[in-house]
Structure 1
Amino acid sequence: MLTAQPIFTIRCELEGIMSLGQTPLGERRIINILGGPVTGPKLNGRVLPGGADWQIIRADGAADIQARYTIETDAGARILVSSEGLRHGPPEVMARLARGENVDPTLYYFRTVMRFETAEPAVDWMNRILAIAHGQREARAVKLDVYEVL
């Protein structure tokens, strides 16, 4: 039986969407990550500025998401995060998100699979887990509730 336990929540501020236009795979977009708090039962710290979210908006309207960024714990450990996921929903809901409206996250699907890499012994347990995040897109931020898959 698959179970999961909460490890932290991220609320990360984002720059505006930079669209590279229609490529053979779909509309290619890049969203730079500005940073924000990380709080939870197993980890506290902040997302450092400098990461990015690379997206392809597919022909079916789904956003194929690949993000890489760094978390720095309150104790100074640095953790590389690699995240891949999907965000999709009814066209009218996705249009509201595109306009920057706050939309109830139960109206759309936003999930990512996360892996971590660190050299810090205090958090090296993260090198050996997979995590699943349930996301919520805000106008200029993203909120991710992150769970370790047990």
Structure 2
Amino acid sequence: MSLTDQIPQGPALEFVTCLHVEVEAPLELGENARGRRRFIPIIGGYFEGPGLNGRVLAGGGDWQTLRPDGVAELEARYCLQTDGGDLIEVTNIGYRHASPAVMARLLEGEVVPAGEYYFQTTPRLHTTSAGLDWINRTIFIGAAQRLPDDVVINVFSVN
């Protein structure tokens, strides 16, 4: 049997933490060639799980493009501070999409069950902390849910 005859095995996922990112109302930036631009200020929050615990620092934000095809492209940048005082930079890229009716409910601030829409991210974490250096060489994925005043992201390491 050759290697091409074998069914590849996918990577394993391990739950690391759950981010609860508190946000303010979006600032509408207007239309460009790619869609409707918005900025959502990040004002705080917390994270907890078997791998990382602490708080989300205020001062970050999520830059979004709501494309004509109904897909929201997301790019959030913010900082985390662990319970031990270590700082972690986060760049989180993702997509959120659903039927037009579900997207309208989300944009109105309604709580919509996560199973009714696609909201996945790829968080990139960086730190100068020697004790957390493992995050500088790990790929993460996030399964997210949008709530009226926060975004909940379950973060998994790809092993």
TM-score, L = length of structure 1: 0.98
Where structure 2 has 5 or more consecutive residues not aligned to the other structure, the ranges are 1-9
Aligned-residue offset at 1:95: 0.6
Q: Does 1:58 align with 2:70?
A: no
What do residues 70-91 of structure 1 show as CA deviations (whole Å, max 9, x unaligned)?
0100000000011111000011
Aligned to 1:117: 126
Q: Which of these residues, 24, 29, 34, is aligned with residue 33 of structure 2?
A: 24
Aligned-residue offset at 1:5: 0.4
Give the secondary-structure state (helix, strand or coil) at the position aligned to 2:103: helix
Q: Distance in 1 between matches of 2:127 and 2:115?
A: 33
CA RMSD of aligned residues (A): 0.6
Q: Which of these residues, 80, 101, 115, is aligned with residue 71 of structure 1?
A: 80
Aligned 1:1-150 pairs, distance under 5 A: 1-150=10-159
Matching residue's letter, 1:48: L
Matching residue's letter, 1:14: V
Q: Distance in 2 between matches of 1:90 and 1:3?
A: 30
Matching residue's letter, 2:135: M
Identity %: 43
Where structure 1 has 5 or more consecutive residues not aligned to the other structure, the ranges are none
Q: How many matched pairs?
A: 150
Q: Distance in 2 between matches of 1:130 and 1:114?
A: 8
Aligned-residue offset at 1:12: 1.3
What do residues 101-135 of structure 1 show as CA deviations (whole Å, max 9, x unaligned)?
10000000000001111101111110001110000
TM-score, L = length of structure 2: 0.93
Give the secondary-structure state (helix, strand or coil) at the position aligned to 2:38: strand
Give the secondary-structure state (helix, strand or coil) at the position aligned to 2:128: coil
Instruction: Kindly name which structure, 1 or 2, has the bigger radius of gyration based on alpha carbons.
Output: 2
Q: Distance in 2 between matches of 1:37 and 1:82?
A: 16
Matching residue's letter, 1:100: G
Q: Return structure 1 stretches of 4+ with deviation > 2 angstroms.
A: none
Q: Distance in 1 between matches of 2:154 and 2:56?
A: 14
Matching residue's letter, 1:36: G
Aligned-residue offset at 1:2: 1.3
